[in-house]
Structure 1
Amino acid sequence: MWLTASTFGNTVYQTPSKSIKNRDKSAVFVCTHNIASYFQMMWYKQTHGTLELKLMGYLNSETDQIETEFKDKIDLKGNGRRNGTLTIEDLTEDDSAVYFCAAYDTVL
């Protein structure tokens, strides 16, 4: 299973940058930033051969939200202010993809 992490912007960091895992295992990606005004962290999946980014879920200082398609597949921990963790459970071939985290601020 080949999983790749990527980042949006120069001040948002995601580790590990690459991960190879066996089927039925889990993969963990960590996203961090130090931008005081950013309080949301989004996680996206890009399947090989497509340009589409699927929103998997997001973290903010008060809650996490996982999209329906990924409810039984992923777990999100942390907050959008500094760090967050994406865990992908029970890996299958369909999980081979590039995973992106993006941190940003929102004006309400």
Structure 2
Amino acid sequence: RYIINCCFINSLSTGSSLSDKVDQTPADIYKEQGQTAKIYCSHRIDNYDKILWYKQLNGQLQYLGYLNIKNGNPEKGVDVTIEGDANKNKNCTLTINSLSVSSSAVYFCAASYHSATCH
């Protein structure tokens, strides 16, 4: 069995900490090799519409990708799926596919706002 620890980090913002407005569940996951694991993240922050996902293994932080509003964007070469809705009071799901020994790690989500400008 593999254990996956799930945590959250402060939302990406300036000023006061908003970490009490970001929720991630479950706290721990126990799965067998080859199975999938799902981690859920939501926030209660006005105007934030982006969820970022990270994995920490052996002291190294790896960026897994993000969900912008409803569009999942996993990093290339990372066997995860990111889906859901990144808006306030909605759920974003990180699915870790084909679990292996290296999947046993700490996973983090963070809330942010998408600041792209259209021309």
Q: Please indicate, yes or no, whether the TM-score normalized by the shorter chain is above 0.5.
A: yes
2:68 equivalent among 60, 65, 72: 60
Name the larger-Rg structure: 2
Q: Distance in 2 between matches of 1:88 and 1:62?
A: 18
Of the structure 1 ranges 76-85 and 9-18, higher mean CA displacement relative to structure 2 is found in: 76-85
Code of the residue aligned with 2:40 in structure 1: it is V
Deviations 1:20-69 (A, max 9, x none): 1111111000001121221110010000x31x321101001152211012
Tell me if the contact between 2:4 and 2:29 (Cα under 8 Å) persists in the aligned partners.
Answer: yes
Residue of 7, 12, 30 corresponding to 1:20: 30
Identity of aligned residues (%): 34
After TM superposition, which residue ranges in structure 1, 4 or more long, deviate above 6 angstroms?
none
What code does the residue aligned with 2:25 have? T
Residue aligned with 1:53, SS: strand
Q: Which runs of 5+ in 1 are unaligned?
A: none
Question: Matches of residues 59-78 of structure 1 in structure 2 within 5 Å?
Answer: 59-70=67-78, 73-78=79-84
Name the aligned partner's letter for residue 97 of structure 1. Answer: A
Q: Return 5+ residue gaps in structure 2 as ranges.
A: 10-18
Residue of 75, 80, 93 corresponding to 2:86: 80
- Separation of aligned partners in 2, 1:25 and 1:75: 14
2:50 to 8, 32, 40: 40
TM-score (norm 1): 0.89
TM-score (norm 2): 0.81
> Could you say which residue in structure 1 is the equivalent of 2:16?
none
Q: Distance in 2 between matches of 1:100 and 1:66?
A: 14
CA contact (8 A) 2:71 2:83 kept: no
Separation in structure 2 between the aligned mates of residue 107 and residue 101 of structure 1, nearest angstrom: 19
Opposite residue 27 of structure 1, the aligned amino acid is: A
